[in-house]
Amino acid sequence: MILRKVVAKNTTEALRRVEREMGADALIIETRHENGLTTVIARKNEVDKSDKPSSKTSRPRSDTGNHHRYPRAFQDYADRLLEHGLSDRLIDILHRSLEGLDPLLIRRDNPALPVVLARVLTSLIPCRSPKTETISVLVGPTGVGKTTTLAKLLSKSVLEDGLRCAVLTLDSFRVGAAEQLRSFAEVLDVPFRIAFQPGDLENHLAELADCEKIFIDTTGRSPRDPGAIADMAQALAHIPATPQLCLPASARRRDLELAFDAFSCFEPRQLILTKWDETFAPGEALSFAIERGLPMTWITNGQRVPEDIRPARAQDLAQEAILGDRA
């Protein structure tokens, strides 16, 4: 058995290289995310074709356009993951990973199957500690809940972590948006500033240099307005901040891709998934994050401030996908 190690900038690119170099049915032994890169350990599938299950002994996939058939033990979980919204490609990767670990694991009712499956899926999900940035900039399309999310993060940082915080906004476009944040800032007794032009932003940051954490809200823009997005990115280009892309877990995969491409000029390094409570299939957003290799930091699941937000934990997200437990 010859193992091959592939390192790439994200999961999608790594898997493409594995398929190109070792075949589309290569078995995934291990996947991990380190230092912003994805590492995949794989080997060629050397299982005899006659050993593979026939269509007579395995049920067809759900009516989604995916015509894979899996051994019965895995098929039940595949159906559940598909209903959760995980992509066909990702489910197939999970199947090949389990085959690579132990072919017998998925060919009979094995109580270890959900445990091992959860570990494999957990290893694929990129998450990052959300408390390492001094200046956080929330960016994303209109209506994704950036301002409410910022209010939750601000409240948690002040009330739970006891940090000296401040809040800035570039959003002088929406009526009431600045006043909403000003109200939160006054309640929490933290400085609040509005940047009407790029020079204001740098001046305000200089004034707030003694703060331990600064949150910057931005104007929501449509992915179909690349000019406005590029102008906003340019205004923030010289700020030593960590851009966090806010996208709704309820969005379809195609819309997530379009939004990510539109806001790529910010070079976002972290993802906040909002509106988790508004969808029965958050797996589409989860698959997007995995295949793009974009680490998640927070999940928001309601309107209450600051209660309805939780750190993104790979193990929790994997358990939810496999067992249907909603946190």
pLDDT of res. 87: 93
Residue 115's SS3 state is: helix
The neighbouring-strand residues paired with 5 are 41
Long-range contact pairs involving 260-267 (C-beta distance under 8 Å, separation at least 24): 260/288, 260/292, 260/294, 261/223, 262/141, 262/221, 262/223, 262/224, 262/226, 262/229, 263/139, 263/140, 263/141, 263/223, 263/229, 265/229, 265/230, 265/233, 266/137, 266/139, 266/233, 266/236, 267/243
pLDDT of res. 27: 72
Domains of the chain from N-terminus onward: 3-124 (no CATH), 135-323 (3.40.50.300)
- Write out the two tokens for 307: 């209660």
Asked whether the whole model's pTM tops 0.75, one would answer yes
- Write out the two tokens for 201: 């932003």
Residue 33's SS3 state is: strand
pLDDT of res. 1: 53
pLDDT in tens, the chain (327 residues): 567 788 887 777 887 888 888 877 777 777 777 777 788 887 776 654 444 443 333 333 444 445 467 888 889 899 999 999 999 989 998 998 888 877 777 777 788 888 899 999 998 999 988 766 789 999 999 999 999 999 999 999 999 999 999 999 987 666 566 788 888 899 999 999 988 876 788 899 999 999 999 999 998 888 989 998 998 898 888 888 889 999 999 999 999 999 999 999 998 889 999 999 999 999 999 999 998 889 999 999 988 888 999 999 999 999 999 987 655
* Rounded Cα distance, 212 and 67, in Å: 53
pLDDT of res. 263: 94
* Rounded Cα distance, 282 and 277, in Å: 9
Name the residue among 155, 161, 153, 156 with its Cα closest to residue 137: 153
